[in-house]
Amino acid sequence: MKAAYRNALHAIDMDESKKNELVDYLSREAAEHTSVVKMPKRSSWRRMLLRVAAAVVACTVMAGGVAYAAGPYMTLSDAFDALFNGAPARTEVMDSIGRPVGAAAYANGVTISADAIIGDASSYSIVYSITWEDGVPDAVAENVVDLYMDGGSHVLGSSGSAGSAYFYDNDPSDNTVHYVEQLFIDSADGIIGRTCTVDFDRILHIAAESADPDSAQTVVAEGGWNLRFTIDYQDESIALPTGQALAIDGRDTTVTALTISPVSLLVEYDVQSGDDTDALAEPQELPAVRDLGTITIVMNDGSRMTFESDTCAASVSMGDGIVHCKLNKIFESAIDLEDVSSIELGGVSIPVH
Amino acid sequence: MDARKEAERIVEAYTPIIMRIGYTYLRSKPDAEDLCQETLWKLIRRTPPFDDVEHEKAWVIRASINACKNELKSAARLRTTTLDEALAVGSEVVEEPSDVLQAVQDLPLGYREAIFLHYSEGYKISEIAALVGKSESAVAKDLSRGREMLRKRLGSDFQ
């Protein structure tokens, strides 16, 4: 029996072609992962934002008598209300591009569930619930904006990611806090239909005045928590005309891709770098090639949504005398693409419809 | 070592055992293939050095087993399957496992785990206990009960 069992089980192996694909994938992961420029994990403006979000959601619950879901997961509507400042509008947008996830993992008295995901072909926002079975520790309740998640999500087949994340507590009376991850995923073929794995190792409290995550940190929950699900929401991105000539750092630059969705903007461009390609790849030079200045989304009613390109998640690759940049901005509130008139960047205006 | 050589090394070294772990725990070859990608991705991004090859192998086995257990606990696996999905799965051509392999696969998870690590991978009870985070007596009990269930099912084929 032993030999028969062993022989039968050892006959189960991966096909050679799939092994070769796996080697290709892992090689890219090992070689390219460092080319992605990470955004700061948490920032002061975000902390302000989440306090406002918590206040608005709490008022909605009290005034309307609406209760949060009794189960372990936030409802889609609650999750996105919190994500986008409690804005009640855009329900139709959320319905099409947001999805419940419903994956959870437990370790050492703490359950982490991925409640909802919203995004497009190159970025997503995931809302997690973190529930302590014996109540939220004081170190968490009193310092929720200074928490830091050790670990994160990853899309299998992608070459890197960049973005931001933050904690918030929309109901201090319960035993749950929430965590939001907003990531640009660098992937040649998009992310819809791909497997997303989440590996959280620890939750840390880092003293606000400490810039170094390794100092003044306290472990408030020990994992690990591992989740896995398929990204399956609808991508409502619109591809816009490209080929516009820009000038970045005095170098000829051409827009090669431009897409806008209800939740993010992605612009890709090639900077002619010639013999300076290797020099431009140095970390101290990256800010220059990714600097598109102010980017503006102009709405039909004349209102303008602006942000600086250095607040975008960025991916930079180089070769053949060209530096290829991708900049992605996840919006602070979802927009209806029917309301967008044009996009202004690098001194050119690009019509959306 | 360059990235490609390192990727080739870990795929060659660990794909077979991760496939066996995935098949044993998740009972599905496609899930086992996903497990290979997930575990080896974690391995290639891991920065702390291993003491030696055995340390690295033990890490791979533990990471694979933990990923399987989390997958089994995940609500994603508890989702109801639509009729179309069920028909699609049913229409696939799947190679039938041998009687012995099927009998082990039908064991409860704890017994299956102990039988797999002992008979397929050759680990001692003390080593299995360290790998799966159980006491040695609990592993010995799982092994004994698993063997007993196999003996009843396989009859004279069990030796």
**CATH number of the CATH domain containing B136:** 1.10.10.10
Say what the pLDDT of residue A192 is. Answer: 92
Burial of A15 (C-beta count, 10 Å sphere; 0-12/13-18/19+): exposed
The verdict on a CB contact (< 8 Å) between B100 and A5 is: yes
Q: Does B144 touch chain A (CB under 8 A)?
A: no
DSSP A68: P
> Last residue of a domain, which of B47, B73, B95?
B95
| Chain A touched by B3 (CB under 8 Å) | yes
Mutation site for B-interface testing, chosen from A2, A7, A12 by largest number of B Cβ within 10 Å:
A12
What 3-state DSSP class applies to A326?
Answer: strand
Which part of chain A has CATH 2.60.40.1630? Answer: 18-230
Q: Which among A229, A28, A46, A41 is positioned nearest to A151, based on CA atoms?
A: A41
User: Is residue A258 within 8 Å of A268, Cβ to Cβ?
Assistant: yes
Is domain A18-230 in CATH 1.10.3720.10, yes or no? no
Sequence-ordered list of residues with C-beta below 8 angstroms from that of A340, at least 6 positions apart, any chain = A260, A297, A298, A299, A300, A352, A353
Give the tens place of pLDDT for each residue, B99-158: 888 899 999 889 999 999 999 999 999 889 888 888 888 899 999 999 999 888 887 666
Contacts of B151 (CB under 8 A, 6+ apart): B158
- Residue B56 sits in the same domain as residue B91: yes
Within 8 A of A33 by CB-CB distance, chain B residues are 45
Decide if B44 contacts A52 (C-beta within 8 A).
no
Q: Which residue has the tokens 């080896």?
A: B40
CB contact residues (below 8 A), chain B span 21-60, against chain A: 23-24, 29, 32-34, 36-38, 40-42, 44-45
| Domain boundary, last residue among B46, B73, B95 | B95
Q: Determine, for residues A14 and B45 on separate chains, whether the beta-carbon distance falls below 8 Å.
A: no
What is the distance between the alpha carbons of residues A68 and A89, in angstroms, rounded to a whole number?
Answer: 19
Q: Do the chains contact at A23 and B75, CB–CB below 8 Å?
A: no
Residues 81-120, chain B, touching A (beta carbon < 8 A): 97-98, 100-101, 104, 115-116, 119-120
Q: Would you call A19 and B159 a contact, using CB atoms and an 8 Å cutoff?
A: no
Q: How far apart are CA A186 and CA A168, in angstroms?
A: 27
- Number of structural domains chain B divides into: 2
Residues B66 and B56 both lie in one domain: yes
Neighbouring CB atoms inside 10 A of A153's CB total 24
Q: How confident is the model at residue B3 (pLDDT cuts 50, 70, 90)?
A: confident
User: What one-character DSSP code corresponds to residue A84?
Assistant: T
| B122 shares a domain with B153 | yes
- The C-alpha of B86 sits at a distance from chain A's nearest C-alpha, in angstroms, of 18
Nearest by CB: A30 against B7, B33, B98: B7
pLDDT at B17 exceeding the cut of 90: yes
Mean pLDDT for the stretch of residues B10-25: 94
B38 and B21 co-located in one domain = yes
Angle between helices B29-45 and B3-26 (to 10 degrees): 140
Q: Which CATH number fits domain A238-351: 3.90.25, 2.60.40, 3.30.360, 2.60.120?
A: 2.60.40
CB nearest B36 (choices: A14, A113, A225): A14
- pLDDT digit string, tens, across residues A317-348: 777 788 888 899 998 778 888 889 999 998 89
Model pLDDT, residue A65? 22
Q: At B127, give phi and psi (nearest 5°).
A: -70, -40
Give the contacts of B122 (CB within 8 A, at least 6 positions apart).
Answer: none
- pLDDT 10s digits, A59-95: 222 222 222 223 345 555 566 665 655 444 455 666 6
Q: Are A103 and B76 in contact (CB under 8 A)?
A: yes
Q: How far away is chain B from the Cα of A243, in angstroms, using its nearest Cα?
A: 34
The residue ranges of chain A whose pLDDT is under 50 are: 33-72, 86-89, 210-213
Q: Which residue of B has its CA nearest to A103?
A: B75
